[in-house]
Copies of this chain bind each other. A is one copy, B any other.
Amino acid sequence: MSEKKLTLQLDFHSGLPIYTQIVNQIQSQLVNGILKPGDQLPTVRALASDLRVNFNTVARAYRILDEARIISTQQGRGTYITEIPPPEVTEKLRKESLSELTQRYINEAYRLGFSEREVSQMVRDSLKLWKEAKHVKDEE
């Protein structure tokens, strides 16, 4: 059951290797709860076909995730999200996920020509708004 279809959005011009994008997005979906422990991932060939990449590229991503104990790949069986990800892994993942997200954000801002000062200021402002909004919400 649970024919959950793994949906990944690759950007072939982003400068990030395909396998890295696959790794990042699977990590992100796990942190985010879209993927859960025990879930089966598509086979390397199925996902590769879906993404229109070579299956070795997917295999490489899976191997990286496997070495990080995030998934468990079993020859002849398939690939699964690790049942009980150790807390230090999930915390590490959380941090990495934020780091990843932040880098993407800063790179994008830089690409659009914004300065370090502008980015810094905008983040400060936005965080302030965010905190205020959260405050209001918490007061209910």
Residue ranges of A at the interface with B (Cβ–Cβ < 8 Å) = 12-13, 15, 17, 28, 31-32, 38, 69, 72, 74, 76-77, 80, 82-83, 85, 94, 97-99, 101-103, 105-106, 108-114, 116, 118-120, 122-124, 126-127, 130-131, 134
For the complex formed by this chain, how many copies does it contain in all? 2
B74 & A15 in contact (Cβ 8 Å cutoff): yes
| Contact residues of A: prevailing secondary structure | helix
A99 & B116 in contact (Cβ 8 Å cutoff): no
Return chain B residues, CB-CB under 8 Å to A126.
99, 102-103, 106
User: Which chain B residue shows the least CB distance to A72?
Assistant: B15
Q: Which residue from B82, B85, B105, B134 sits with its C-beta under 8 Å from A101?
A: B105
Return chain B residues, CB-CB under 8 Å to A12.
77
Given A98-B119, A106-B127, A116-B130, 6 other A-B contacts at CB below 8 A?
A: A15-B72, A17-B77, A69-B111, A94-B113, A98-B112, A116-B131
Separation of A105 and B38 alpha carbons in the complex (Å)? 20
Separation of A106 and B109 alpha carbons in the complex (Å)? 14
A106 & B80 in contact (Cβ 8 Å cutoff): no
User: Which chain B residue shows the least CB distance to A83?
Assistant: B111
